[in-house]
Amino acid sequence: MKIDRRDFLKLMGMGSAILVLGPHSLAGAATTKAGQDDFFFVQLSDTHWGFNGPQINPDATGTLKKAVAAVNSMKSQPDFVMFTGDITHTTDDPKERRKRLAEARDIIRGLKVKNIKFMPGEHDAGLDNGEAFQEYFGKTHYTFEHKEVYFIVIDNVSDPTSSITDTQLQWLSAELKKLDKDSRIVVFTHRPLFDLYPNWDWWTRDGAKAVDLLMPYKNVTVFYGHIHQEHHHMTGHIAHHAAKGMMFPLPAPGSVPKRVPIPWDSAKPYSGLGYRRVEAKVEKAEYVLTEYPIKKG
């Protein structure tokens, strides 16, 4: 089921914002706890550091730096920044891969906020099972808690078959068993967990198993990347939100014969590129998404 944007899309300032209704709001039966603080984080995705293609992005070395500057210029700083994969563009050369990972890491260190979370995309990890990525950014799947929201980072790229794998699914099951059924849960993945468009490999082979594990939990929202465009989808009560990329946009699923990058439009530079602010309304289990474009300068 697709979210009907007309129901709750509103435009705000420089970015477009979507009020994402949490399951509590839909059911009208929220369980509230005192002292839950609202906060916001920033999702950056698919920065593809190392990409080279002037027809696609003549400012390939500029967009990540612009994103860092834009986040730094926010009036209030996010509690953390999450990179949902494809931080670097792939290369067959392991030495070059490490060089790109190191350069991206050093640019990202320019963020004022120092609470930065990472996960790989297939460009970072698909050719060496995440070996180089882990040297620079640490674990590829993990959990963390922030202000009573439980964040689960699922790696669906290090296995080259686009799979989470049984081992990680067992880990996910064990992590979920620690939580109450009404816990606020946010999942980060690179690929969509649902079958968005398998013909373009826009899916996770065993993603349905992860969704099945998450389904008993009332408040689950998934943020992902990979498809280089904003996209919203529901599997039952679980919302899935894809973010724009920072290097090149991709066509809408199945809209053209091949999933090739959309060429640079000099009349609208940086169009289709952007990042996302996610405001967590913890008590209500709601999230307000605000999409920001990359700007010149």
Partner 1 sequence: MKSAKDRFRFILTLIMVFAVISFVTGVFVACQKKQVIKITAKKFEYSPNVIRIKKGVPVVLEFSSLDSVHGFTVPDLGGVRATIEPGKVTQVRIVAPKAGTYEFHCDLFCGDGHEGMTGKIIVEE
Q: Which of the stretches 77-85, 142-150, 197-205, 229-237 binds partner 1 when contact is defined by CB under 8 A?
A: 197-205
Question: Can you spell out the DSSP letters for 241-252?
Answer: EEPPBSS---PP
Count CB-CB contacts under 10 A for residue 111: 20
* Amino acid at site 192: P
Pairing assessment for the beta strands 39-44 and 274-281 based on DSSP bridges: antiparallel
Q: Which of the stretches 78-86, 143-151, 172-180, 192-200 binds partner 1 when contact is defined by CB under 8 A?
A: 192-200
Q: State which of residues 34, 54, 75, 92 lies at the interface with partner 1 (CB under 8 A).
A: 92
Describe the crossing of helices 166-177 and 207-214 by its angle, rounded to 10 degrees: 10
- Min. distance of Cβ 214 from partner 1 in angstroms? 23
- Min. distance of Cβ 2 from partner 1 in angstroms? 20
43 binds partner 1 (CB under 8 A): no
- Min. distance of Cβ 199 from partner 1 in angstroms? 5
Q: State which of residues 58, 94, 160, 236 lies at the interface with partner 1 (CB under 8 A).
A: 160
- Min. distance of Cβ 126 from partner 1 in angstroms? 3
7: buried, middle or exposed (CB in 10 Å: 19+, 13-18, 0-12)?
exposed
- Min. distance of Cβ 203 from partner 1 in angstroms? 8
Pairing assessment for the beta strands 231-235 and 238-242 based on DSSP bridges: antiparallel
3-state secondary structure of 193: coil
- Min. distance of Cβ 130 from partner 1 in angstroms? 12
Q: For 96-154, what is the HEC assignment?
A: HHHHHHHHHHHHHCCCCCCCEEEECCHHHHCCCCCHHHHHHHCCCCEEEEECCEEEEEC
78 binds partner 1 (CB under 8 A): no
The 8-class DSSP code of residue 88 comes to: B
- Residues binding partner 1: number (CB under 8 A): 18
- Count of H-run helices and E-run strands, the chain: 8, 13
155 binds partner 1 (CB under 8 A): no
Q: Quick check: 49 and 86 in contact, CB under 8 A?
A: no
258 binds partner 1 (CB under 8 A): yes
260 binds partner 1 (CB under 8 A): yes
199 binds partner 1 (CB under 8 A): yes
Q: Which of the stretches 119-127, 216-224, 240-248, 286-294 binds partner 1 when contact is defined by CB under 8 A?
A: 119-127
126 binds partner 1 (CB under 8 A): yes
198 binds partner 1 (CB under 8 A): yes
| Residues near partner 1, by CB under 8 A | 89-92, 122, 126-127, 157, 160-162, 198-201, 258-260
